[in-house]
Amino acid sequence: MTLFPAPAKLNLFLHVVGRRPDGYHLLQTVFRFLDFGDSLEISSRPDGDIRLLSPLPGVPNESDLCWRAARLLQTSTGCTLGADIRLLKRLPLGGGLGGGSSDAATVLLALNRLWNLNLSRAELQSLGLRLGADVPVFVFGRSAFAEGVGEVLTPWT
């Protein structure tokens, strides 16, 4: 199994600038990554199964962002490979540090590499947005000024 980092993030500021008809808020924020977060051990499987080796208590697979990310990538690309995923959770659930979103983005990035899918970051960001508004910035992979629901990203130093 290969170990992949899933960093935490802070919002340095957050301005709500509107609301979309679907209820999502339009915002402006700066996401800053931290040198701390969760880690994931991920390996490819030849049989197509997506297995969570460390499921979160009380969270069924269909609701787990790591499982959902792997399944979304698998079905979106027609990939017949599977994965074993072990989450080493350090970030609190619902703590506002982006743990679940970072974990999902890390699964997308890792499996894109392990399954040799060669999707671009932009393609992975688009898939990630289907999982949650914070997932694209973690796929982006660096601190960013964000607009929209968080998916319009500009590098921030």
**Encoded tokens for 50:** 């997506």
Q: Are 37 and 6 in contact (CB under 8 A)?
A: yes
How many angstroms separate the CA atoms of 102 and 16, rounded?
A: 22
How many angstroms separate the CA atoms of 49 and 114, rounded?
A: 15
Q: Tell me which residues are annotated as active site.
A: 9, 134
Residue 127: exposed, middle, or buried by beta-carbon count in 10 A (0-12, 13-18, 19+)? buried
